[in-house]
């Protein structure tokens, strides 16, 4: 596993909320609701115009949570998220151009992999901790077990189709450091400002992680 402290925090938390934020004003209360449930990391995806402002606001006003930028697919976005205060970056795939930009930015990066070819490119670049995406569609735990044969040095954060129903299956694998998922932050809960529900989902997830890890 990477020796970056940010990656260690993802592993310690065990679950990473993957968030789509439509309104920057919802960013801070959402982050605080997750913290109240025991989750101290958040991945804000660059899927909406408000994402960069949300990242910046969370980094400034809720510094106790690890701010991760997700869905970063271009070198220009790497620059943008660093300026916004992101402390780590996640991408759905791997590209040499983004890899170069991440090295220049000096931020921890989890590139996405789904196949053996993806893993070969990541290993060649020295990227040994990766996002496994889309996890369920790419074969789930059986695919991860198969990939760990030729790539025993790699660690993964499976995302895509992961929830409370299969959380235990993924975290039982020694090569999985954490999982990512949007089930922790339902779109309707965010839209309705139902922060109590977000906190409850966070608590349930953290309790499951603790129970699984002893």
The residue from 6, 56, 82, 131 that is catalytic is 131
| Catalytic (active site) residue 43 | yes
Note the helical H segments in 27-159: 27-36, 51-61, 75-84, 96-105, 116-124, 140-147
Cα(117)–Cα(123) distance, rounded to whole angstroms?
A: 10
131 has catalytic annotation? yes
| Active-site pick, 6, 43, 56, 82 | 43
For residues 202 and 205, what is the distance between their CA atoms, to the nearest angstrom?
5
- SS3 label, residue 80: helix
Q: Supply the residues annotated as catalytic.
A: 43, 131
């Amino acid at each position: 596993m990477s020796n970056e402290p940010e990656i260690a925090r993802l592993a310690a938390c065990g679950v990473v909320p993957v968030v789509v934020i439509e309104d920057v004003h919802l960013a801070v209360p959402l982050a605080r609701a997750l913290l109240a449930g025991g989750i101290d990391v958040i991945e804000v995806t660059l899927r909406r115009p408000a994402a960069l402002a949300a990242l910046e606001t969370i980094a400034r006003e809720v510094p106790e949570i690890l701010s991760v930028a997700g869905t970063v697919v271009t070198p220009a976005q790497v620059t943008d998220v660093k300026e916004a205060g992101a402390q780590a970056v996640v991408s759905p795939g791997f590209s040499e151009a983004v890899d170069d930009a991440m090295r220049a930015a000096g931020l921890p990066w989890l590139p996405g992999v789904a196949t053996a070819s993806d893993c070969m490119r990541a290993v060649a670049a020295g990227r040994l901790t990766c996002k496994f995406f889309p996890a369920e569609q790419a074969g789930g735990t059986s695919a991860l077990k198969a990939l760990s044969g030729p790539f025993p040095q790699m660690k993964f954060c499976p995302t895509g189709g992961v929830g409370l129903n299969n959380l235990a299956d993924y975290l039982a694998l020694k090569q999985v450091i954490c999982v990512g998922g949007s089930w922790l932050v339902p779109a309707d809960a965010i839209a309705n400002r139902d922060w109590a529900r977000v906190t409850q989902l966070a608590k349930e997830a953290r309790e499951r992680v603790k129970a699984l890890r002893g």
